[in-house]
Structures are given as C-alpha cells and as structure tokens.
Structure 1
C-alpha cells in the first residue's frame, strides 16, 4: 500500500515573475525553421499559425488572469505513493442524499485543465437549469508527471499504478464507493479502477475503448471490428509518430520541448487541432487563451518529458492486463470528432456496456470543447447508480 497522508493542503500556485520573464525572452528569441510554401498543417504544425500564437504568448497573453481563473477551483495537494499529487476537490453545492462522488482522469497533452469548464456544471447543476439531484462531488487529480503533481524520479507510473493511487485518494477523501470517468490515458486509468476495485467503482464512463488489443483471434472478430483494426493501423501510420517517440525515446524529444516554448507549443497545438472537432481550424474549439493556458501549465511545471514517459510505462503493460473485460457497468460517449472510434461490437467484447451514445459535436477533448454536452452524458449515464453509491 502507498503512504496516504490524511493531511490535505490547500494549494494555489502562483508563477514567479522571473519564470514568466524568462518565458517571454525565449519566445521573442525563437529561431524559426523554414517551411515549404503553402505547407499549412500538412507536414505538422503550420508555422504561420504558430508564429501568430507565439507572438501573442510573448506580448498579449495574460497568464496571471488565467492562473486566477483556475484558482477559483478548490485545489489541494496530498501524498500518494511517496509523491505529491495535486487535485481539484469540488463538492456538490446543494448536497442531497443522491450526490455521487466522481473521479475524472485526464489524458495527454493536458492535465486537470481538461475538466476545468465542466466542474461547476457537475457540482451545481441547479445553477445551470438542470435537476439539482444530478449533482456530483468531483475529484480531478493531475496524474504523477503532469500538471502540478510531482514528477516521478524513478520509473514512470503506468495506468494500473495510477488507478491504484486514485483508489487511495478517494479513500483519503472519505469516499468508499464512487464513479469513475475519463478519456485518452484517463480512459485507461478509469478502466483499471473498475477492473481492480469493482467493489468500490459503481460504474465507469469512458470516451473511448482503447486501441485494439491483438490478443484476440482475428477469426473471432466481427467485420466491423476487423475494419476498425485496419482503420487504427492506418491512423497510426499517418498520425501516430508522436506516440512512437513517447513510447520509445521520450527523453530525446523532451530536451528540445523543455528548452523551447515555441517547440512545446508546436508539439501540443498540432494535437489540439487534429483531435478536436474543429474542422481544421483549431480556434473553433479553443481560444488562444485556452490553448496557451494548457501549454503554459506544461511549460511552468516542466512536465512535458515526464508526461511523455507514461507512454513508455503503458507500453510495458502485459497483454493479459490489456485483454481483461470490465464487468462493472460501463458507459461510452463516442464524440463525433474523436479519433479512431471503436464499434459497439468491440466495446461489448471488452466491457459490460449498459450505455452508448454518439454526441453530434465534440472531439477528443470534449469536456473542454463541449462541457455542457459532456456533463449531460455523465448525468445520463450515472443517474441509475446514485442510490447504490450512497448505501
């Protein structure tokens, strides 16, 4: 068991002036690469757009205002597994007997930022025209190596280990039974919470079903599953270079991304555009301030390298773990603009599916892109599991 401290410290970080001045100096001194004419986003990040973003980051972006906005969320730190873990813990504004504790797990390239818009919608539904009985107590931790949580000095933690830490965190907060939800890597963390703690997780909601696990005999696959396997392989060939680097040589990329804020922005904004439901125009899903808040969190905490190393850890998870079936009631919201969406046949092969919906808007970062839609998905899925959670 990890050492859980019962002491929860209120936490409101504030960037030092020197760190912000250093950031602006580096941005203004960016050494720009050449690019073919009219390359746009075809070869990676559009340099013309990146120049615009970097200029605004250096001389227009108000980090203090964004930091103050994030500080309105109730944030804490505690120790789990010998690491300092930062988390949001927002209680239901008008608690009733049906309040359900819910732990939300983020992915890459983000942090607790992914859920910053949706927290008030979940904790105070009455203020947003929704039945107050649908309120949640919400817990949003930064995974170790992300955001304001500590970076592991030793081997990176995989999704199984992080799920174990979240179970301990929920115990430390006094929640015996709770719901779990997540997307991207957070989907895997939520899955292992349900697999390893089925007596505590009343239901689990995910935005994806994970990538195909090739431990299944291809002859057993339905046609739509085989088609999906091929789609994922094609996507990996054209879009998966970042993942191959993260899994195999994360430290090589980390040198440049930790040293150059423009390089860091290029690495992250390309994914925000490619994975969101923006029709190729990233600012249809995120404002410049929202993009730069996410990137600045990575910059100030120095966590791009440690976040990438989690891919290396997850790549070493044994196939037997990947092929386990989730028996806890499972819900899936497959947003229209997300990547490589699995067919129902695969979801039912790997989980006890009791809810499946395909919202018409939103992508990989749906809690941030479409917070109202995402909140409604969680309310609809978890509604039947509220009373049992409080027994």
Structure 2
C-alpha cells in the first residue's frame, strides 16, 4: 500500500524476512558464551543472576522461534517512510470501526513496538474483545529512531523534540486530521513534546509514565504519598540507573558490547525487566521467556544497542541547555500511575504542568511495562482517558 506518489512522502509496506544465516550466527555466538562467575549475593543487588540469564540463553539457543515473532509483526502490518531524512518503521493497524480515533503510541527503552502486542486487538476491535465499538482506535506505533527497524541517525540532533515533530508529520502523512498520543518511558517524553507543540490535530494525550521531577518547593511540601514517590525516584537514581548513566555519557562504549555479544545485550535488557516491573525482582513471573526474547531480538537483529543508547546521550545534551518551557501544556491529558512504576506523579503535580487533566488514576497492580504486564488495565485506562475527547 502506498498513500502518495511523491518520493518524499512515500509510505511503503515493510516485510520482515531475516536471512537464516543471521539466526545461525546468533546460535553459534550463544554456544560460545564465556560466562562470568556467579554473583556473590543471594539477590539481584549486583544485577541479573547467573542462573536466570543462563536459563534465558538456553531457551534462546535451543527452543526460541524467531519466525513466530516475525510472522506476528508481518501480520500486524509494518510500513516504512522517510521523514526528515531518516527511514522510520511503524506498525499501522486500522480498526474495522469507521469512527475509530487514530492513536499514536510510542514505546521506550528497552521496549519496542512489541510492547503493545497484547493491546492491539482490544484497542482496534473492542467489539471482538467484549468492549464497546465506539471506543475503537486506529493504531500507529512507530519504532523510535535508532530502535528496531527504523533508521539509525548518522549525526547528532535526533532528540525528543525532533522525534515529536517527525511523529506529527507521520500522522499528517497518514491523513489523520484528528488524533491522540500515548506513551510510557521515552514515549512519555515524546508525547509530552507533542503536547508542547500542540499541533491542531492532536486532541489528547495519555501517559503511563512521567519524566518530570518535583521542584524543590514540591519536595518540601510533599504529602506522605508524594514522599513515597520521591523516595522511589531516589532509589532509581541511586541504585537502578547505572544503565542510564552509561548510555547518557558513553553510549559508544557500551555499544561495542551490545553489538557483539548477544548475552551481553540480553542481560542488559533483562535487568530492566526484573528491576522495574511488578514482578518482585522475578521477571519470569510477569513475562514469558519468548516475550523477553522477542523484544531482545528487535535490538539484536538490527544491531541497535549503540544507536538506541544514544537517545539518552541526546537527552543529556539537551538537558544542559535547561529544562523545557515551564508553561503548562494545554492539550487535554490523562495519567495512569501503576504502583510498581519506579517514577510516578501525583495528581496535583500533574495539574501544575498540564492545564487540562481529563483523567487521573492510580492502579493497584502493574509496573513500568504496563501494556505488557497488565494489558486489560492498560486498555481500560486508555479508553477512559480518550473518552473525554472523542
């Protein structure tokens, strides 16, 4: 399918067919793994435990089926288009309901378009999943620049604001004059940046993660619940954020390991699955091994360990120029705070930054990867938020 004959606005189908020799090379690398010794603590305080990673890699080498994942992605509907000089990959899943609201959904790191795999059906075809057809969405799910099968920037400048502008162009190119945006992790930063730009077609935003931090005054005036949020964010900064500091300062350094070692890449990503999910440190209690490996493959096959890490570097460079404008975002916004999300916000903190908070809810279960961990709750939250702007 193409929507234009102009080469600068061409949208082309994208079909995945990874050569078998690439998969054979992966298995050979896995077989030659040189393992470190076991951790010297009985928990995950030193990082992913040797036994857990070995079990993941054993499954990857002997039982994992990439062709199943490949067929899933091809079946959803993949496309590519060039915006601002970069090839961008995206899923485009249209609802059977003519009145569906187009919704742009943006993943983060170490996520991918597969982060939304469990919610695509209920969001696009609610009637087939016991829901109200009037709550249907057309979904546009892009891969961030340098992630998945999107192109890799060859120069600096592809930070969050530029991505937001590219996403607005994408929605316009698809012919959507009225649409919403949703995001978690880096997707929340992109969604907020879209809100700051306030394009005429964007009618609402939804977040399951926030990137803003409380001001010193807010910290001083924090309620007990907000104090718990501050403590959680501090724990992340002090204990869990080593990967972010590395990627924000030396993405090329870690990039060599992530590009060359599948076990290094897998453990780098697995650490986040155990640390920030609602799993009590046991990632396999929330995610299947196949789900974990499907996501890892979207970093291994296109070798995006370094290019995806550079988004942190870009954000760090932008941060040196100062925080975003303090002016409130006026686009209607909804917030869903899952309890094991490491960085959360209170309603009053959100209302100081967004002038029109149309939905705010604190859930009783779920973590950072909300759409994968609690897909039914995630769908309910998205529907509830955008019900105010349909």
Normalised by the length of structure 1, the TM-score is 0.93
Cα distance in structure 1, aligned partners of 2:303 and 2:153: 12
Task: Report if aligned partners of 1:275, 1:339 keep a CA contact under 8 Å in 2.
Answer: yes
In the TM superposition, 1:248-263 aligns within 5 A as 248-263=249-264
Cα distance in structure 2, aligned partners of 1:121 and 1:221: 42
Cα distance in structure 1, aligned partners of 2:340 and 2:188: 17
Cα distance in structure 1, aligned partners of 2:388 and 2:238: 41
Q: Compared with structure 1, are the counterparts of its residues 17 and 106 closer, same or farther at alpha carbon in structure 2 (3 Å cutoff)?
A: same
**Counterpart for residue 28 of structure 1:** 31
In the TM superposition, 1:180-219 aligns within 5 A as 180-212=181-213, 216=215, 218=217
| 1:219, distance to aligned residue in structure 2 (A) | 7.2
| 1:217, distance to aligned residue in structure 2 (A) | 5.2
**Counterpart for residue 389 of structure 1:** none
Task: Report if aligned partners of 2:119, 2:375 keep a CA contact under 8 Å in 1.
Answer: yes
Cα distance in structure 2, aligned partners of 1:282 and 1:300: 23
Cα distance in structure 2, aligned partners of 1:87 and 1:116: 13
Task: Report if aligned partners of 1:104, 1:182 keep a CA contact under 8 Å in 2.
Answer: yes
Cα distance in structure 2, aligned partners of 1:129 and 1:79: 37
Q: Compared with structure 1, are the counterparts of its residues 36 and 140 closer, same or farther at alpha carbon in structure 2 (3 Å cutoff)?
A: closer
Cα distance in structure 1, aligned partners of 2:70 and 2:83: 25
In the TM superposition, 1:223-242 aligns within 5 A as 223-224=222-223, 228-242=229-243
Task: Report if aligned partners of 1:88, 1:139 keep a CA contact under 8 Å in 2.
Answer: yes
The superposition leaves residues 157-183 of structure 1 with CA deviations (integer Å, 9 ceiling, x where unpaired) of 111110000000000000122101100
May I ask how many residue pairs the two structures share in their alignment?
A: 380
In the TM superposition, 1:283-322 aligns within 5 A as 283-317=284-318, 318-321=321-324
In the TM superposition, 1:324-363 aligns within 5 A as 324-352=327-355, 353-363=357-367
In the TM superposition, 1:1-391 aligns within 5 A as 5-96=8-99, 99-212=100-213, 216=215, 218=217, 222-224=221-223, 228-317=229-318, 318-321=321-324, 323-352=326-355, 353-386=357-390
Q: Compared with structure 1, are the counterparts of its residues 51 and 212 closer, same or farther at alpha carbon in structure 2 (3 Å cutoff)?
A: same
Q: Compared with structure 1, are the counterparts of its residues 141 and 198 closer, same or farther at alpha carbon in structure 2 (3 Å cutoff)?
A: same
Cα distance in structure 2, aligned partners of 1:56 and 1:103: 34
Cα distance in structure 1, aligned partners of 2:43 and 2:67: 32
Task: Report if aligned partners of 1:117, 1:368 keep a CA contact under 8 Å in 2.
Answer: yes
Q: Compared with structure 1, are the counterparts of its residues 48 and 226 closer, same or farther at alpha carbon in structure 2 (3 Å cutoff)?
A: closer
User: For 1:321, what is the secondary structure of its paired residue?
Assistant: coil
Normalised by the length of structure 2, the TM-score is 0.93
Cα distance in structure 1, aligned partners of 2:27 and 2:212: 39
Cα distance in structure 2, aligned partners of 1:43 and 1:4: 51
Task: Report if aligned partners of 1:142, 1:148 keep a CA contact under 8 Å in 2.
Answer: yes
Q: Higher mean Cα deviation, 150-159 or 299-308?
A: 150-159
Cα distance in structure 2, aligned partners of 1:172 and 1:240: 37
The superposition leaves residues 241-296 of structure 1 with CA deviations (integer Å, 9 ceiling, x where unpaired) of 11111110111111111110001011001101111111222112110011000001
CA RMSD, Structure 1 to Structure 2 (Å) = 1.8
Cα distance in structure 1, aligned partners of 2:232 and 2:117: 32
Cα distance in structure 2, aligned partners of 1:342 and 1:171: 31
**Counterpart for residue 3 of structure 2:** none
Cα distance in structure 2, aligned partners of 1:326 and 1:293: 36
Task: Report if aligned partners of 1:159, 1:314 keep a CA contact under 8 Å in 2.
Answer: yes
| 1:316, distance to aligned residue in structure 2 (A) | 2.3
Q: Compared with structure 1, are the counterparts of its residues 156 and 14 closer, same or farther at alpha carbon in structure 2 (3 Å cutoff)?
A: farther
Task: Report if aligned partners of 2:209, 2:368 keep a CA contact under 8 Å in 1.
Answer: no
Task: Report if aligned partners of 2:359, 2:384 keep a CA contact under 8 Å in 1.
Answer: no
Cα distance in structure 2, aligned partners of 1:220 and 1:371: 32
Task: Report if aligned partners of 1:222, 1:345 keep a CA contact under 8 Å in 2.
Answer: no
Q: Compared with structure 1, are the counterparts of its residues 144 and 321 closer, same or farther at alpha carbon in structure 2 (3 Å cutoff)?
A: same
| 1:131, distance to aligned residue in structure 2 (A) | 0.5
Q: Which runs of 5+ in 2 are unaligned?
A: 1-5
Q: Which runs of 5+ in 1 are unaligned?
A: 387-391
Q: Higher mean Cα deviation, 112-121 or 344-353?
A: 344-353
